[in-house]
Amino acid sequence: MPKAAVPHRSTSNPAPLAQHQRLALLRQLVNHDDVPLQDRVAALLVLLYAQPLTRIAQLGTDDVLHKDGEVLVRLGNPPSPVPAPFAGMLLDYLGQRPNAMTATNPDARWLFPGRRAGQPMTPETLELRLRRLAFPTQRGRTAAIRHLVLQAPAPVVARMLGYHDDTTAQLAAEAGGTWRHYAPGDHSRSP
């Protein structure tokens, strides 16, 4: 049998984007109308909420809530608010999702419907679409979660974004967060 060379793929986390790079990417996503809205919305979910493509692909239209003029996205509990320019983009996208009006997907409930009837777009397809835009998915996601755990207690971030408490606590410690001694729960009760 001839020798087979199996390429090595590193599983280590790449260095996150700097905050100014993350903000520049967010600005570009808002301002570049030449990029498909579908790709911009997926990239926003990565940069704002540190969501992996596997979870983004599984989001449904019912995970986007529009109540009293506020747009929320259900990633955990409670749903996370969507800031101003991105809320409009998300609502616009809901009204014009691709593959939602075809004979195979007339009642598609997926936020990112796939080509197969009743199936969401695969994470691999989302990754290819973002890679074509030279979007740094993993580095952007790492930057987003690190920024979030520096802004709020890790357990709060974990619940809102659907992460495990231990994961966000570890990320907060690595990022130098000051919320290490935060005790989640109801603090309004007297002892």
Distance CA 184, CA 155 (A): 7
Check residue 43 and give its pLDDT. 95
The overall pTM is greater than 0.85: no
Check residue 106 and give its pLDDT. 58
Task: Split the chain (191 residues) into runs of 10 and give each run's mean pLDDT.
Answer: 74 75 92 92 95 95 93 93 94 83 66 86 94 92 88 87 85 72 59 55
Q: Which helix (H) or strand (E) element contains residue 72?
A: strand 70-73
CA torsion, ordered 113, 119, 124, 128, to nearest 10 deg: -30
CA distances in angstroms from 18 to 29, 97, 163, listed in the order given: 17, 32, 22
Domains in the chain (CATH in brackets) are 19-175 (1.10.443.10)
Check residue 166 and give its pLDDT. 85
- Structure token pair of residue 105: 């997907």
Distance CA 128, CA 122 (A): 10
**DSSP-H helix ranges across 14-83:** 19-31, 37-49, 53-57
- Under a CB-based contact definition with an 8 Å cutoff, are residues 131 and 121 in contact? no
